[in-house]
Amino acid sequence: MSSAEELRRLTRELLAAHPPASTDRLDFLRARFDAGLAWVHYPEGLGGLGAPRSLQAVVDAELEAAGAPDNDPRRIGIGLGMAAPTILGYGTEEQKRRYLRPLWTGEEVWCQLFSEPGAGSDLAALGTRAVREDGGPSRSSEAESGGDWVVNGQKVWTSSAHVARWAILIARTDPDVPKHRGITYFICDMTDPGVEVRPLRQITGEAEFNEVFLTDVRIPDSRRLGEVGDGWRVAQTTLNNERVAIGGMRLPREGGMIGPVSKTWRERPELRTHDLHQRLLKLWVEAEVARLTGERLRQQLVAGQPGPEGAGMKLAFARLNQEISGLEVELLGADGLLYDDWTMRRPELVDFTGREAGYRYLRSKGNSIEGGTSEVLLNIVAERVLGLPAEPRTDKDVAWKDLAR
C-alpha cells in the first residue's frame, strides 16, 4: 500500500519522464494511467496502486502544480462516475483491461442506457428486451456463456449519447419472473447500425439529452457484466455511484451555483433588498453544509462503495440549485431572464456555472429528474437511511409480463 510520500515520488518520476510542456496530452494521460496514478485506489494494472482513495488528492495537487493536463473529467463524467466502478466491481479481467484505460483517458466517451419512456421513475419496470440469438434459455445464471444477445427497445434522457462510443445498458432477459429479477446488464456498442440517437430539445434550447432506439442490436455475451438475471444488483452499483457523482462532487467554498449569485451580490449593491439578503444568507449556509457533508461522504468512501447516503446528497444538490438559481433571477430582475444563445445546440457536457443566470435557472429544473427523481430518492432515504417502513408494493412478486402497463 502506497504512502503519501511514495505517491509524491512516483508522480515526480512521471513528470520527469513525461514533461507536460513537451509531451502530447494523450500520451501523458496514458502514461499516468500506466503508472497507477489515475485512480490510486484501483488495483495495480488498472490505473491504480491499491492505495487509500484519500491519497488521490496528493497526486492531483502535484500534477496541478506542474501544469499537467487532466482528463477533462466533466466531459467523461458518466464513464468515470458510473461505468468505471461498475466495470471494476463486476467485469471480467479482460473487460477491465479493455475498457478502463481509454475510459479514463477520455479516448472513449460513455453514456447510460437505463431510463425508458414506458417505465417512468420505476426503472425496474423497463421493457427493452434482450434475447439470446440461439433462442435458448436466458433466465438461468448457470446458462453457458458465449453467443450474441439481440436487443430491441427504447431508452430516453441519455446524456452524451450523440458523442458516446460505449453505453452501459440494462435490458429484460426474462419476462416470466418479477421485474427486479429478470434484468441483465450489458455493454453496448453505440456505433452498432441498430443504434439510433435522436436529440431531445430542452427548455434551454439545447439538446444534451437524447432518446435512443435499439433495433436488433447484437451484443456478444462477452460484453455482459455480471450474471444473467442479476442486472438489478449490478445497476445498484451504478446508481449509487451516479448519485455521489452528481450530488457529492468536490467543490471549494462558494463553488457551484452559490458562487455566481454571491459574486453578483457583492458587486452590485443597488440590487439588494432585505428579503433577498435573508434568503441569500440562508442558502449560503445550506450550500456550505452540503459541501462539507459531501467531503465527509467522500471520506467514508475510503472504506468501501457508496451507499444510500448518496441519495441525500443528490436531493440537496437538486433543491439548492433550483432555489439558488431562482434567487439569482429575482436579484437580477429582467436581466436575469436573458442568456446569449437559444439556438439548438448539441453540447458534450453541461456547464451549470459558466453561463448566464437565465440558463442556470432553466437548466436546474432538470436536476430533480436526472440521476433519479427526487420522489424516488426521498423513498430511498426514508427506507434505507432512516429505516422507516417501506411503502406497500403490490407488484413485488408478480411476473413482469403480468404487470399492467
What domains appear along the chain, each with residue ranges and CATH number? 4-70 (no CATH), 78-229 (2.40.110.10), 236-385 (1.20.140.10)
User: Helix or strand or coil: residue 171?
Assistant: strand
Task: Determine the Cα–Cα distance for residues 262 and 281; give it in Å rounded to an integer.
Answer: 10
Asked about 44 being catalytic, the answer comes back as no
> Tens of pLDDT along the chain (405 residues)?
579 999 999 999 999 999 999 999 999 999 999 999 999 999 999 999 999 888 999 999 999 999 999 999 988 999 999 999 999 999 999 999 999 999 999 999 999 999 999 887 789 999 999 999 865 444 433 344 568 999 999 999 999 999 999 999 999 999 999 999 999 999 999 999 999 999 998 888 888 889 999 999 999 999 999 999 999 999 999 988 776 666 666 778 888 899 999 999 999 999 999 999 999 999 999 999 988 888 777 666 655 566 677 778 888 889 999 999 999 999 999 888 877 766 667 777 666 667 789 888 998 998 888 877 888 888 888 888 888 998 888 888 899 999 887
- pLDDT at residue 42, rounded to an integer: 95
- Conformation bin of residue 141: beta by default, left when phi > 0, alpha when psi is -120 to 50: alpha
CA distance 213 to 156: 9
Q: What are phi and psi of 169, to 5 degrees?
A: -135, 135
Say what the pLDDT of residue 342 is.
61
CA atoms 387, 388, 393, 397: torsion sign? positive
Whole-angstrom distance, CA of residue 350 vs CA of residue 185? 27
- Angle of helix 309-332 versus helix 274-301 axis, rounded to 10: 150
Predicted local confidence at residue 176, as pLDDT: 97
- So what's the pLDDT on residue 141? 39
Q: Which residues pair with 178 in a beta bridge?
A: 399
Q: 275, 272, 287, 282: which is closest to 321 by C-alpha? A: 287
Q: Which residue has the cell 457536457?
A: 349
**362: nearest Cα among 352, 372, 371, 349:** 352
Name the residue among 332, 354, 329, 330 with its Cα closest to residue 341. Answer: 354
Query: What is the model's pLDDT at position 70?
Result: 96
Distances (CA, A) of 243 to 40, 239, 367, 371: 22, 6, 11, 6
Furthest-apart CA pair in the chain: how many Å? 72
Cell of 176: 416470466
pTM for this one? Answer: 0.87
Chain Cα centroid distance, residue 338: 29
Quote the CA–CA distance of 290 and 104 in Å, as a whole number. Answer: 28
- What pLDDT is attached to residue 143? 41
pLDDT score for 204: 85
Residues 6 or more apart whose Cβ sits within 8 Å of residue 332: 264, 271, 357
Q: Hey, what's the cell of 385? A: 437511511
CA distances (Å), origin 115, targets 15, 305, 372: 42, 23, 9
Spatial separation of the C-alpha atoms in residues 347 and 345, rounded to whole Å: 6
Given the residues 242, 270, 295, 370, select the one marked as catalytic: 242
pLDDT at 330: 94
Q: Are 380 and 239 in contact (CB under 8 A)?
A: no
Rg (CA), the chain: 22
